């Protein structure tokens, strides 16, 4: 179909008409033709009229739009399993799954050749990723044996579809045993099937191998154990693993946790007996461990081998434990849950050496006040305490006496602002009145059934600026510190204190520009105390100052616990996982930071990988912002391996080093679970049922391809072609040449007739 139209200059026909009228009038303007013969005058007028006509056509810009339809080629995708699990027996037992799959592929090879005339045929093997094309020159080129050590069906499906973007898929045929074994799949299995369904592409699945109830009737497997734990020295660690029991119902299965330190000393916890009431039941195994020394530990959760087990490689899992020395324990007690508590908890939870516990007591539970806190305020349980908008009636005199005694013995305390903090919270005549570094007003008591008494509060916005140099208020370099504070969002309000105490150790740390005290430090006995009138530093985080917010609250805790020596450095390594099969790729991040949690920007890091035999290999590091990343391309030796990172500053002075342990296993996850999963394959196909997807048997594959051949997708591509005068170089030059020729002819005639 072809359509003609005009696109005049300035998108205005009146403008074209005005210009055309002017050009036509010029035909009557010029030298006198009285001495010319009639044919001469006509010749000149015709030439000039042709010039005017060409100019009018050019400014009208005639446009032709043509639409043509042409067939579009669709793609048939065939993916087959090339992992080691295909070496396991097929249903019949006389051949392997690989042999059965290969036989099915050979049966459909002639059909693929026939389809190749109408469709694009793509055949790929898959394991942990999509393999290279196996259909070349209309022939199947299949590997001689399966060698993949992990199955990642979801990522392979996604990658196969992604490679055909812009094309229509006639169908996707997925062959394999359906068992997913990838540790960390890039795309989850059902997300890939959901993607096919959203695109309207049918998925046909073909399963090889027996289901689990045929080959795993008797098996005990440790199926889940977190790969890494972190705990402070002498703190209780809860270790919870999951054990699946098949074929051993009503029988006690002993499970043990072995813990080994860096020197090889071994401690075994248990056995703990688990008992399945029904077959194929998953049971939780809870174990408790209290480490006595800091360091790196290797933990192995193992279930005893049972008589008749076909597979024993899955009877244990390994994890790693990092025990930190000198960690800080902080208790945060809050009244009504508000914005401030959430962001403070986020800030402190970001510090690996701060262990934060949170308790909150909303006013709707007033009938239970004062609350029973047990030994929370007993000596030695916590290093610092945060008291939020919590009325004195919540804790009661006895708990407040214990808290005051803890501060006197050397613990830290910060009290935050709020409608039930300080004097509005009834702390005037409690044991904390002597602890806090500010005076309180008895008359400022805020009862729960009365409207909020705003006269005892300072309305916002309140800009908070440092009143003196202090470890708590040092958010940037000394020359930039006040500017950093002034760049923070102001507080929404604050408690109004009668005055700051005049006593030893009391210091005003921060105030508003009009001298309203906001943050006051003090000492009580051997402990340190902070009174903070605000409760809206969460705005800092919300408005893009999250790093400053984390630094401020970390410095608060460090100062309260007398750990404000900011010269300490910390070198760290972060591994997303700690268990790897042989041949895996290991990636990690590392860096160096100060005691306040800030990255040391001038740090230089070197890293090395130490295999189980002790052989060290340097690892190149790539810097991104303040962190470094490194990759061990392939781990080849099983056993306990290490990644060691060393950091130095710009002067070459040591900043420290860090070591991360990882476990490289020779356990073949593909052979560790001999069961196929036809139910999962069928579920994947059912997710694309709206497009025609289905699960088919291997012998039904030829019929499926015949069906696709007889009913190929009717695909037509609409091609739009647009032409506009002078839009391409050739017609633009043609127009220009025509104009020049006409003008030259007109000038030549006038010259010849002695008119110029």
- DSSP letter string, 299-349: EEEEEPP-TT-S--GGGEEEEEEEEESS-EEEEEEESS--HHHHHHHHHHH
CA distance 243 to 162: 38
- Per the model's pLDDT, the better-predicted residue between 215 and 420 turns out to be 420
- What's the per-residue H, E or C state across 440-453? CCHHHCCCCCCCCC
- Given a cut of 90, whether residue 622 has pLDDT beyond it is yes
pLDDT band at 675 (very low <50, low <70, confident <90, very high): confident
Inter-axis angle of helices 189-199 and 153-163, nearest 10: 30
CA distance 538 to 544: 10
Instruction: Count CB atoms within 10 A of the CB of residue 718.
Output: 9
Q: Give me the pLDDT at residue 175, please.
A: 96
Q: Where in the chain is the domain with CATH 2.60.40.10?
A: 217-324
CA 333 and chain centroid, separation? 32
- Taking CA atoms, 606 is separated from 512, 609, 659, in Å, by 46, 11, 12
Q: Give me the pLDDT at residue 162, please.
A: 92
- Given a cut of 80, whether residue 723 has pLDDT beyond it is no
Long-range contacts from 513-518, C-beta under 8 angstroms, 24+ separation: 513/463, 513/465, 516/458, 516/462, 517/438, 518/462, 518/464, 518/491, 518/494
Pick the CATH number of 217-324 from 3.60.21.10, 3.30.465.10, 2.60.40.10, 2.70.98.10: 2.60.40.10
- Taking CA atoms, 311 is separated from 216, 246, 282, 528, 678, in Å, by 8, 12, 17, 59, 20
Q: Where in the chain is the domain with CATH 3.40.50.410?
A: 74-214+673-714
CA 216 and chain centroid, separation? 36
Q: Are 591 and 628 in contact (CB under 8 A)?
A: yes
Q: At the topology level of CATH, where does 569-669 sit?
A: Immunoglobulin-like (2.60.40)
- Per the model's pLDDT, the better-predicted residue between 723 and 568 turns out to be 723
Summarize pLDDT for 532-582 with one digit per residue, the tens: 999 999 999 999 999 999 999 999 999 999 876 554 567 889 888 888 888
Which of 1, 63, 26 lies closest to 723 in space, CA to CA? 63
CA distance 332 to 319: 31
- Given a cut of 80, whether residue 305 has pLDDT beyond it is yes
- Given a cut of 90, whether residue 69 has pLDDT beyond it is no
CA distance 165 to 661: 42
Q: Are 400 and 374 in contact (CB under 8 A)?
A: no
Instruction: Summarize the confidence of residues 142-167 as an average pLDDT.
Output: 90
Q: What are phi and psi of 334, to 5 degrees?
A: -130, 155
Q: Where in the chain is the domain with CATH 3.40.50.880?
A: 328-560
Q: Give me the pLDDT at residue 577, please.
A: 84
Counted residue by residue, the chain has a size of 756
The pLDDT mean for the chain works out to 86
Q: Give me the pLDDT at residue 672, please.
A: 66
Instruction: Summarize the confidence of residues 77-96 as an average pLDDT.
Output: 86
- CATH number of the structural domain 74-214+673-714: 3.40.50.410
Q: Are 317 and 300 in contact (CB under 8 A)?
A: yes
Q: At the topology level of CATH, where does 328-560 sit?
A: Rossmann fold (3.40.50)
**DSSP category for residue 101:** H
Instruction: Count CB atoms within 10 A of the CB of residue 29.
Output: 6
Q: Are 522 and 503 in contact (CB under 8 A)?
A: yes
């Amino acid at each position: 179909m072809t359509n003609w139209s005009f696109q005049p200059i300035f998108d205005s026909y009146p403008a074209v008409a005005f210009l055309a009228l002017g050009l036509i009038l010029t035909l009557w303007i010029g030298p006198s033709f009285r001495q010319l013969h009639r044919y001469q005058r006509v010749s000149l007028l015709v030439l000039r009229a042709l010039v005017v006509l060409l100019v009018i056509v050019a400014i009208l810009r005639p446009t032709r739009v043509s639409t043509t339809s042409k067939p579009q080629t669709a793609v048939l995708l065939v993916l087959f399993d090339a992992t080691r699990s295909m070496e396991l027996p097929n249903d019949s037992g006389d051949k392997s799954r690989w042999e059965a799959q290969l036989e099915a592929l050979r049966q459909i090879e002639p059909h693929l050749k026939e389809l190749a005339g109408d469709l694009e045929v793509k055949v790929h093997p898959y394991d942990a990723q999509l393999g290279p094309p196996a259909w070349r020159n209309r022939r199947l080129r299949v590997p001689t044996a399966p060698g993949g050590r992990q199955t990642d069906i979801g990522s392979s499906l996604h990658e196969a579809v992604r490679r055909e973007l812009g094309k229509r898929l006639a169908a996707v045929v997925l062959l394999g045993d359906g068992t997913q074994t990838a540790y960390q799949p890039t795309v989850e299995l059902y997300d890939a099937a959901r993607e096919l369904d959203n695109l309207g592409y049918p998925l046909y699945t073909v399963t090889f191998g027996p289901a689990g109830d045929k080959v795993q009737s008797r098996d005990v497997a440790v199926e889940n154990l977190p790969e890494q734990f972190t705990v402070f020295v002498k703190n209780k660690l809860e270790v919870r693993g999951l054990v699946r029991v098949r074929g051993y119902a009503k029988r006690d299965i002993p499970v043990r946790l072995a813990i080994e330190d860096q020197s090889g000393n071994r401690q075994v916890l248990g056995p703990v007996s688990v008992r399945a009431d029904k077959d194929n039941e998953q049971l939780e195994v809870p174990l408790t461990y209290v480490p006595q020394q800091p360091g790196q530990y290797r933990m192995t959760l193992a279930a005893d081998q049972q008589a008749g087990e076909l597979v024993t490689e899955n009877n244990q899992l390994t994890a790693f434990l990092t025990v930190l020395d000198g960690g800080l324990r902080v208790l945060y007690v809050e009244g009504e849950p508000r914005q401030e508590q959430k962001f403070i908890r986020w800030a402190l939870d970001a510090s690996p050496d701060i262990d934060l516990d949170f308790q909150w007591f909303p006013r709707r539970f007033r009938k239970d006040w004062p609350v029973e806190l047990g030994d929370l305020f007993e000596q030695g349980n916590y290093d610092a305490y945060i008291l939020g908008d919590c009325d004195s009636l919540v804790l009661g005199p006895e708990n407040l006496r214990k808290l005051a005694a803890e501060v006197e013995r050397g613990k830290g305390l910060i009290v935050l602002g709020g409608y039930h903090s300080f004097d509005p919270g009834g702390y005037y005549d409690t044991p904390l009145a002597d602890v806090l570094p500010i005076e309180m007003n008895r008359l400022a008591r805020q009862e729960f059934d009365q409207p909020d008494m705003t006269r005892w509060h300072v309305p916002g916005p309140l800009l908070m600026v440092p009143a003196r140099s202090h470890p708590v208020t040092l958010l940037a370099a000394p020359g930039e510190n006040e500017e950093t504070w002034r760049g923070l969002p102001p507080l929404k309000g604050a408690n109004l204190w009668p005055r700051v105490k005049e006593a030893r150790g009391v210091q005003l740390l921060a105030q508003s520009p009009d001298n309203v005290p906001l943050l006051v430090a003090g000492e009580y006995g051997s402990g340190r105390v902070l009174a903070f009138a605000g409760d809206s530093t969460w705005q800092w985080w919300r408005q893009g100052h999250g790093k400053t917010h984390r630094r401020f609250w970390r410095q608060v805790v460090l100062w309260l616990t007398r750990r404000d020596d900011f010269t300490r450095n910390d070198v760290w390594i972060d591994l997303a996982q700690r268990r790897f099969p042989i041949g895996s790729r290991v990636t990690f991040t590392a860096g160096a930071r100060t005691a306040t949690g800030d990255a040391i920007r001038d740090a230089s890091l070197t890293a090395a990988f130490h295999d189980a035999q002790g052989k060290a290999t340097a690892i190149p590091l790539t810097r991104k912002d303040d962190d470094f990343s490194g990759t061990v391309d392939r781990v080849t030796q099983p056993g306990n391996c290490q990644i060691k990172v060393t950091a130095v500053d710009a002067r070459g002075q040591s900043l420290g080093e860090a070591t991360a342990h990882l476990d490289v296993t020779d356990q073949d996850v593909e052979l560790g679970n001999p069961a196929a999963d036809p139910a999962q394959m069928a579920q994947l196909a059912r997710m694309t049922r709206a497009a025609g997807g289905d699960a088919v048997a291997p012998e039904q594959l030829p019929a499926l391809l015949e069906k696709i051949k007889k009913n190929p997708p009717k695909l037509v591509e609409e091609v739009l072609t647009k032409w506009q005068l002078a839009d391409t170089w050739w017609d633009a030059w043609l127009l220009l040449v025509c104009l020049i020729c006409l003008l030259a002819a007109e000038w030549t005639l006038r010259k010849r007739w002695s008119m110029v």
